[in-house]
Amino acid sequence: MDEDCIFCQIVAGEIPGRTVYEDDDVLAFLDANPLAEGHTLVIPKEHHERLNDVPADKAESLYSTLHEIVPAVEDAVDAPATTVAFNNGEAAGQEVPHVHGHVVPRFEGDGGGPIHGIFGSRPGLSDEELDEIEAAIDERV
């Protein structure tokens, strides 16, 4: 546990949270500042800053919880869709340095737009550049 982390404090019960699901590895609770009704956060109980810091077995628990939470949230607030996303790192807008997946219910005409909408422009990449990027990622996985 990180004593200064607000999500660790919620896991420890030191700060009240509206818990919607809990098991040995994962906690899901309503976002205190929801972007839509039913906005839920899903976190590993262990303190890890980024997705890639989470041990593989805990990452499996995190994903399998998302797998169950997403339809539960949609059904609970009668939403036809959800945006499911992680801000992974400070430069991506992560404000609490404890991995958390956002499950945000979406509705027709809610004005939110797709994840693509957060990017103002797209890089113009040549086939050669794309080949290099493909190889660079492939050799690291």
3-state secondary structure of 47: coil
Which one of the listed residues 47, 67, 100, 102 is annotated catalytic?
Answer: 100
Q: Least Å distance between CB 2 and Zn ion?
A: 5
Where in 97-116 is the site for Zn ion (CB under 5 A)? 98
The DSSP secondary-structure symbol of 92 reads G
Which of 39, 47, 58, 100: binder of Zn ion (CB under 5 A)?
47
Burial of 94 (0-12, 13-18, 19+ CB in 10 A): middle
Is there binding between residue 58 and Zn ion (CB under 5 A)?
no
Q: How many residues bind Zn ion (CB under 5 A)?
A: 6
Which of 3-11, 30-38, 82-90, 99-107 is the region at the interface with Zn ion (rule: CB under 5 A)? 3-11
Listed in sequence order, the residues at least 6 apart from 86 whose beta carbon sits closer than 8 Å to its beta carbon are 51, 94, 99, 100, 101, 102
| Long-range pairs for 109-114: beta carbons < 8 A, 24 or more residues apart | 110/36, 112/35, 112/36, 112/83, 114/83
Is there binding between residue 29 and Zn ion (CB under 5 A)?
no
Q: Is 100 a catalytic residue?
A: yes
Considering the complex, state which of residue 27 and residue 70 has its C-beta at the smaller distance from Zn ion. Answer: 27
Cite the active site residues: 100
Residues that bind Zn ion (CB under 5 A): 2, 5, 7-8, 47, 98
